[in-house]
Amino acid sequence: MKSKFATITSAVLLLLAGCSDYLDVNRDPDALSEIPEAQALLPAAEVGIANNLMGWDFGFSGAFWVEYWTQSYSASQFKALCEFQPEDFNIAYQSLMSQPLADLNRIKTLTAGDENKGCYFIAEALSIFTWQIITDVWGDMPYSEALKGNEGILHPKQDKGENIYADLLARVNSLLEVDLSEASVDETYDFIYEGDFEKWKQFAYSLKLKLLLRVSETAGYNNAAVLSFVESAETSLITASAKISGSIWDDSREGKRHPMREFEAGGANYFSTNVIGCKTFVDYLSENSDPRLPKLFSGGTKGAFFGDFDSKEDADGNGTADDKETYCKAIISPTADVLLMSDWEVNFYVAEVYARAGRPEAQAYYEAGVKASLTQHGIGSNDIATTGYAKWTGGDTEACIKQIAMQKWVAYAGYQHIEALLERNRTKYPAVNEIDIEANRRAAFENFPVGDLTISVRGRARLNGNLPASPLYPEYYMFRNNNAPAQKPNIGQKVWWDKKSGK
């Protein structure tokens, strides 16, 4: 099967002259504003979103803060993340605002009056999705006046997160009313669903479900209403993940690799020298014989305490000091897909809505979510959802929510790190154990709380024993906008929907 590098038409390349590589997201958006054909903007917009979802800020920070990975003992690149030092995710914010969101707005402007609503529908769906990520990550942000420099609004006001959500829901409802009977896009321009508008409509329905459920812990959440939506839209939710296929990437070319591979290939070697498996996650997979473990890590099943990269002790008593142990390494395949919204994610959402209603349908959707995750990893012969540790056990509502959340935590690894962080913050699973690793590393090793997160050894004091909740407001916003608020005190400040008790 040919890569879309080969199938993209020469006309597109000519339209994108001035940034001749259409997958290069480091480009001048003003140059692209002159492009007359809307669909020519789609490839860079779609890949630009993907590059951020699994790029420097979201890809690494999400993986560290949900304790998939930790900093190696021999390097220091990610110590700040493990120590819960101030982080603002400025690269992701600046990139999303100046690149894919600007392109998506341009597409909508160019196609607003077209009878063919194909490009408009995709652009609006992806715009809603991207704004959801932005407000979920940072909380209150400029929204209603954002991206309106051409209207003279150079310092957009900050909107409350709940108001942004209300508008996003209104937008997705309007989008679902769009007539797609005449919709079309050349499949070579659409890297996600190749112009299949049945799948794009499923994406929009699933996006609405995601928005509805993300506020589950707020006073305004009504599970009966969400259940009604699920029952009415059950056959309209995604069955095929919204993703950039791994066939798009070219590991031999700088700037064309899978976004996380950029930090390993070309001599960077971040994975081989900086990133090791975190004991929190590795032990959970290992002790439960989860077949996804060797798909996510190489070099054994030994993980390190989170944020304990200065230890010279011998925690496990095997005669080798912690800093000399051989820990497993994270794997990111050169041909890994990048997921925007996964089929397992949506199945888990539906399972939770049914579980909150005390309905037995929760089990089938939960099992479908686990199986879909295994399929994504190429695992077809191991059904842990019905015969292994992930077997549905039911119980009261909270027990069901925990079981769903734990499998969601596992499924997101390697594919959706920022969503893993957001969903952990919403559900508070995995829970946080109070164990003080530094106080007695041998005791911590022997009595490790498998299935719980631990507080960073080097970051414990910085957030008063709590976990990160959201990054600081990005520098790009704070120093360019006269309407910017006072900076957050630290990365422990929760966004508006993060209401559930727990760390």
Can you spell out the DSSP letters for 132-182? HHHHHHHSSEE-TTTT-GGGT--SPPEEPHHHHHHHHHHHHHHHTTS--TT
18 pLDDT higher than 80:
no
Instruction: Concatenate the DSSP letters of all residues of 71-96 into one string.
Output: E-TT--TTHHHHTT-----HHHHHHH
Backbone φ, ψ for residue 338 (5° rounding):
-110, 120
- Which pLDDT score, from 0 to 100, does residue 310 have? 86
Torsion of CA 384, 387, 390, 394, to 10 degrees: 150
317: number of Cβ within 10 Å: 11
- Which pLDDT score, from 0 to 100, does residue 265 have? 79
16 pLDDT higher than 50:
no
On the 0-12 / 13-18 / 19+ scale of CB atoms within 10 A, 416 is: buried
Task: Write the CB contacts of 358 (distance below 8 Å, at least 6 apart in sequence).
Answer: 397
- Which pLDDT score, from 0 to 100, does residue 264 have? 83
Lowest mean pLDDT among 72-86, 115-129, 284-298: 72-86
SS3 425: helix
14 pLDDT higher than 90:
no
Q: Which H or E run contains 432?
A: strand 432-433
pLDDT digits (tens, 9 = 90+) for 372-405: 999 999 998 778 988 899 999 999 999 999 999 9
CA angle, corner 159, sides to 154 and 161, nearest 5? 140
Confidence of residue 37 (pLDDT cuts 50, 70, 90): confident
Mean pLDDT for the stretch of residues 5-27? 34
Distance, in Å, from the CA atom of 45 to the CA atom of 51, rounded to the nearest integer, reads 10
- Which pLDDT score, from 0 to 100, does residue 36 have? 53
Separation of CA 397 from chain center? 26
Cβ distance 303 to 437 under 8 Å?
A: no
Alpha carbon of 29 to those of 24, 46, 105, 127: distances in Å?
A: 12, 15, 11, 16
Mean pLDDT of the chain: 90
Distance, in Å, from the CA atom of 210 to the CA atom of 350, rounded to the nearest integer, reads 10
Backbone φ, ψ for residue 90 (5° rounding):
-65, -35
Q: Which H or E run contains 30?
A: helix 29-32
Both tokens assigned to 477: 């916003």
12 pLDDT higher than 80:
no
Distance, in Å, from the CA atom of 97 to the CA atom of 78, rounded to the nearest integer, reads 25
pLDDT digits (tens, 9 = 90+) for 422-467: 999 999 999 999 999 999 999 999 999 999 999 999 888 899 889 9
Mean pLDDT for the stretch of residues 138-145? 97
pLDDT digits (tens, 9 = 90+) for 278-334: 999 999 999 999 999 999 999 999 999 999 988 999 999 999 999 999 999 999 899
Pick 181 or 255 by higher pLDDT. Answer: 181
Q: Which H or E run contains 229?
A: helix 223-233
Mean pLDDT for the stretch of residues 39-45? 94
- Which pLDDT score, from 0 to 100, does residue 24 have? 39
Cβ distance 417 to 59 under 8 Å?
A: yes
243 pLDDT higher than 70:
yes
- Which pLDDT score, from 0 to 100, does residue 31 have? 42
1 pLDDT higher than 60:
no
26 pLDDT higher than 50:
no
What is the residue type of 56? W
Of all residues in the chain, the percent with pLDDT exceeding 70 is 93
- Which pLDDT score, from 0 to 100, does residue 25 have? 37
Distance, in Å, from the CA atom of 141 to the CA atom of 146, rounded to the nearest integer, reads 9
Domains of the chain: 4-250+335-433+469-478 (1.25.40.390)
Alpha carbon of 311 to those of 57, 137, 150, 306, 445: distances in Å?
A: 26, 32, 54, 11, 13
